[in-house]
Structure 1
Amino acid sequence: MAFETLNAKRMLPDWNRSALAWIGFYGAILVAWLAVFAMARQNPAADMPAGFWESLCIAAGQASFGPLVAMWALMALAMMLPTFVPALRCFLDLSQAGATTALGAVALVCGYVVVWLAAASIGAGAQYGLSRAGLVGINGASLSGWLTAALLLGAGAYQFSPVKEACLAKCRMPLSFFMERWAPGSPRALRMGLELGILCLGCCWALMTLGFIGGTMNLLWMGGATLFMTLEKLPDIGRWLTRPVGFGLIAAGACVALQTLVTP
């Protein structure tokens, strides 16, 4: 009886650390989504000046590049952190077995986030350039039928690409990924987070460009894309989604191209 009590006391701190890690992770997701919702509604938060949120929502041609990067960064965190749950769960399971520490989990998430913040800068640059060229409007939505068609066709074709297939294979099997690259220490965890971020970017970048069709801050698109990208990474579900969605996107792109061609 005394031995069982001692075991329970030893296990409690590990459980607490894991619970705190999940609370912090989901808290970050919640904050990102609340910020995105505030931007989409142009409803300033109580502790932020109205001009801050307004500057994130006006046209890229009128806003400075910095606020546009901030908008894309929040959008990337809100959409991509939920897709990282399986990998983080696997890593924390290994930490409970004594293979790593809570600090390693923080380093893993930081590495993943760094990749997507870099990708957000690229997305902001693309929106800025397209807005200056008159191809997207104030909400980041395409004003050109040919641009819309190209985005749909490109994203659809990428669903069948070997690069996407290779990245998805790694993302769907996080335990195999960790076993192949495992080494103790936070620096190694940071590197694995960076590698997972690159793999995730390889899976999802083409789908993220579809935000230029309905508007980069369109909450319906963001929610639907987040759900799809999360499900696509699940082995039992994702393998039934990737190719059908690819066919659907290609068909939609062809229809838009035909409509643009015949419309005066």
Structure 2
Amino acid sequence: MQQMIRSGMWLAFFAAILAAWAWLYMMATGMGVDLIGRPGAMAEAMRGMDPRMDMYMPMAEFGPLFAMWAVMMAAMMLPTLVPTLRAYEDLMVSAGATRAGWLAVLAGYSAVWVGVAAAMAAVQLALLYAGVIDMLGIGTTRVFQGGLLIAVGAFQFTRAKEVCHGVCHAPAFYFVGRWKPGVSGGLRMGAALGAYCAGCCWGFMALGFVGGVMSLLWMGAATLFMVIEKLPQIGHAVVKPMGAALIAAGAAVLAWPLMMGG
């Protein structure tokens, strides 16, 4: 019976991830954006719209943007939680962890990322009305795009990234050092792990404003890299090389007009 419950919980967890990706796919294609984020005729027309126009535009309203970001958080961040949930399961015998506590860890972690979704929606609206990004969430200038790439790349070398990544990379050590029993303990630990994860991965969310927040290619690539960052064997080895690659990409974006003679 316990094995059936465990299998059912994991199946529901992965089903939620697949449902989030399916929702994002339907939203992107419904707006006329293809799988790699290239806008079709309808999406291209939307990009040039003024958010101050007297008409309803979902991508210029907090509610739809918040829903989009919340589903995006589920699609991108839940896969990175697998090592954490596995580590919690390993403590079910030795530390008295329970299935209810497992769900509480998931709930606490998700609650933090819902908060991040609200913050990202607010940032997107502010950037949109400032003219920094367009209606599809794509930066309107090379200065913004290149600068954001460099900023996120530089963050990979900071002490804050090191501390947050250290916790996300080795959740078992976090559980052992800060164990809290029961459902309330699971909620608190899940929320704390979510906060560390947000501190570790916020930059990859922000890079959506370079490639477009509706680009499934960007979301898939960012998710893959965040999962790799948390792998116990190679996670630490990829953080700084990715930072260097992002800085180089940002410099290339800024220098492109000069290289083209513009």
For normalisation by structure 2, the TM-score amounts to 0.86
CA contact (8 A) 1:159 1:242 kept: yes
2:29 maps to what in 1? 41
Give the alignment partner of residue 102 of structure 1, picking from 89, 99, 102: 99
Aligned-partner SS, 2:136? coil
**C-alpha distance in 1, partners of 2:202/2:181?**
30
CA shift for structure 1 position 175: 1.1
Letter in 2 for 1:200: C
**In the aligned structure 2, how far is the partner of 1:166 from the partner of 1:22?**
29
Q: Hey, what does 1:116 align to over in structure 2?
A: 113
Residues 117-126 or 14-23, more deviating: 14-23
Q: Number of matched residues? A: 239
The equivalent residue for 1:143 is: 140
Match of 1:166 among 163, 167, 174: 163
Say whether 1:157 aligns with 2:154: yes
CA contact (8 A) 2:69 2:120 kept: yes
- Structure 2 counterpart of 1:254: 251
Q: Deviations over 1:200-226 (max 9, x none)?
A: 111100121111111001000000100
Report the Cα offset of residue 97 of structure 1: 5.2
The answer on whether the counterparts of 1:207 and 1:225 sit within 8 Å (CA) in structure 2 is: yes
Q: Which residue pairs with 2:195 in the alignment?
A: 198
Letter in 1 for 2:18: L
- Please tell me whether residue 26 in structure 1 is matched to residue 14 in structure 2: yes
1:68 matched to which residue of 2? 65
User: Between the two proteins, what is the percent identity of the paired residues?
Assistant: 44
What pairs up with 1:77-96 in 2 under 5 angstroms? 77-95=74-92
Tell whether 2:128 aligns with 1:128: no
User: Aligned residue for 2:173?
Assistant: 176
Verify the 8 A CA contact 2:87 2:172 in the aligned structure 1: yes
CA distance in 2, matches of 1:245, 1:99: 38
**Superposition deviation, residue 147 in structure 1:** 0.7
Q: Answer with 1 or 2: which has the greater Rg.
A: 1
Structure 2 contact 180–189 (Cα < 8 Å) conserved: no
Q: Secondary structure at the match of 2:180?
A: coil
Distance change >3 Å, CA 96–CA 37, structure 1 → 2: farther
Structure 2 Cα separation of the partners of residues 147 and 90 of structure 1: 39
1:233 alignment counterpart? 230
Partner of 2:207: 210
- Listed one character per residue, the Cα deviations across residues 115-148 of structure 1 (whole Å, up to 9, x for unaligned) are 1110011111111111111221222111111110
| Counterpart secondary structure, 1:241 | helix
- The residue aligned with 1:223 is 220
Q: State how far apart, in whole Å, the 1-side matches of 2:123 and 2:70 are.
A: 14
Deviation, structure 1 residue 18: 1.3
Query: Matched residues in 2 for 1:236 and 1:27: separation?
Result: 27
> Hey, what's the Cα distance between the residues in 2 that align with 1:145 and 1:217?
19
- Please, what is the CA RMSD of the aligned residues? 1.9
1:95 aligned counterpart, secondary structure:
coil
CA distance in 1, matches of 2:28, 2:92: 38
Contact 1:158/1:246, CA 8 A, preserved across alignment: yes
Q: Distance in 1 between matches of 2:161 and 2:145?
A: 21
Give the whole-Å Cα distance in 1 for the aligned partners of 2:12 and 2:99. 12
Quote how far apart the aligned CAs of 1:181 are.
Answer: 1.2
1:179–1:237 CA distance, 2 compared to 1 (3 A): same
* Unpaired runs of at least 5, structure 1: 1-12, 44-53
Unaligned runs of 5+ in 2: 32-41, 52-56
1:155-184 Cα deviation digits (max 9, x unpaired) = 100000111111111111111110111122
